[in-house]
Amino acid sequence: MNKISRVSGAVLLLLDAAFYTFPILLVFSWACIETACAKKVMDCLLYAGPVCTPDALIGLTKVRWTPFTQFLGFCSSVLAWAPAYGGLHYLRRIFAHYKEGAIFSSENALCYSRLGQLFLLNAFIALPLSDGLMVAAVTFSNPVGQRYVCIGASTANLFQCLCAGIFMVVSWVMLEASKLAEEQQLTI
C-alpha cells in the first residue's frame, strides 16, 4: 500500500503542476503570439500540426494575427483543450484517492465514467467546434471569398468515441465490483 501511495503522490504532483501551469501557458502563448518564446510553446506543447483549410495547411505561427483573430484563436484553443483540462481534474481526483488507499471505490468508478463522458464531449462538440473556429481565425484576414468556417468529423472523432466507450465500460465494471466488495466487507 505504501508503494501505491508513494507513486500516486508523485503522479499527483505532476498532474497538479500540469493543472496549474497549463492555463498560464495557453494564455501566454496567445497573448504573446508574435514573440519567439510563445511560438515555441505553441509549436512544441499546445498544437500537433498546421490548421487544415480548404486552400492550404496553415501553421499557427505563420499567420498574421489581429487582436480579433487572436481572440478567436484563443477561444478555439480553450474549446479544444477544455475536455482535456476536465480530464486532468478527474485524474487528479483519482490519484488523490489512490494516495489515500481507496483504489476500487465507487468515487473512482464515477471519475472514470466522467472521463468517458469528456471523451464523448470532445468528439461531438469540442473538436468540431474548435476546428471550425480555428479555421475561421486563420482565414479571417484573407480577402473576401477566401474566408472559411469548417465543421467536420474524422478518424480522430471516432477514436475519441472508442475511448469514451472503453472508459464507460471500465467504470461500470468498477462500480459493480465496488458494490460486491462493499457487500463482502459488510458481511459479518
Partner 1 sequence: MSIGVNLDVMLAKRKMKLQDLAALVDITPQNLSVLKAGRAKAIRFSTLEAICKHLSCQPGDILFFTEEDTARRE
- Residues in contact with partner 1 by CB under 8 A are 182-183, 186-188
Nearer to partner 1, 155 or 187 (CB): 187
CB of 175 to partner 1, least distance (A): 16
In contact, 76 and 138? CB cutoff 8 Å? no
In Å, how far from its chain's centre is CA 108? 19
Nearer to partner 1, 144 or 186 (CB): 186
CB of 93 to partner 1, least distance (A): 26
Quick one: CA dihedral 166, 170, 171, 175, positive or negative? positive
CB of 181 to partner 1, least distance (A): 11
CB of 185 to partner 1, least distance (A): 8
Nearer to partner 1, 37 or 180 (CB): 180
For 187, residues 6+ apart whose C-beta sits below 8 A from its C-beta are none
> Phi-psi region for residue 99, left (φ > 0), alpha (ψ -120 to 50) or beta?
alpha
Nearer to partner 1, 48 or 186 (CB): 186
CA 63 to CA 41: how far, in whole Å? 16
